[in-house]
């Protein structure tokens, strides 16, 4: 079986707030994928990884999900990682995340001594977690 593309589907409480947050971080809109208050869609990185942010009620009803949506205050569903070009880039991500209304759960720092990774971790307003890493090795 050949996979042509992979993308992420996440639920959010407020699509407009999500749209504003990720736009402030420089994520690119997925043309044709945005649907008002039901869906904000972005493409990330050079390979255009698609991330859909569905309103919770749409996420559950249109996807046939019959279980509760994860409570991100008490756990984690997935963590995405974004590559950075430098330590300064990681630091800028951290500043921009906080300016846009996200929270850092890991301040910018060297995270592995054996291989010089420098990074930070943040959560968006709904609690979806992301890493930003630069490999200086």
Q: Which CATH number fits domain 7-63: 3.20.20.100, 3.40.190.10, 3.60.15.10, 3.10.180.10?
A: 3.10.180.10
Query: May I ask the CATH class of domain 79-135?
Result: alpha beta
pLDDT for 82 equals: 94
- Give per-residue pLDDT as tens, 83-136: 999 999 999 999 999 999 999 999 999 987 667 899 999 999 999 999 999 997
d(CA 124, CA 127): 5
Strands (E), 62-102: 79-83
d(CA 58, CA 36): 12
Domains of the chain, residue spans: 7-63, 79-135
Helices 15-24 and 87-100, axial angle in degrees (round to 10): 150
- Give per-residue pLDDT as tens, 19-45: 999 999 999 999 888 888 999 999 999
* pTM summary value: 0.88
End-to-end CA distance of the chain: 35
């Amino acid at each position: 079986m050949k996979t042509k593309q992979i993308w992420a589907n996440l639920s959010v409480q407020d699509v407009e707030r999500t749209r504003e947050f990720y736009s402030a971080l420089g994520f690119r809109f997925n043309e044709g994928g945005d649907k008002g208050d039901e869906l904000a869609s972005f493409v990330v990185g050079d390979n255009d990884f698609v991330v859909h942010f569905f309103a919770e009620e749409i996420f559950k009803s249109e996807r046939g999900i019959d279980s509760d949506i994860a409570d991100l205050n008490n756990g984690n569903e997935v963590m995405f990682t974004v590559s950075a070009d430098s330590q300064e880039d990681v630091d800028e991500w951290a500043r921009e995340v906080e300016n846009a209304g996200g929270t850092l759960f890991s301040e910018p720092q060297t995270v592995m001594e054996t291989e010089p990774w420098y990074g930070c971790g943040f959560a968006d307003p709904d609690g979806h977690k992301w890493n930003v890493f630069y490999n200086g090795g």
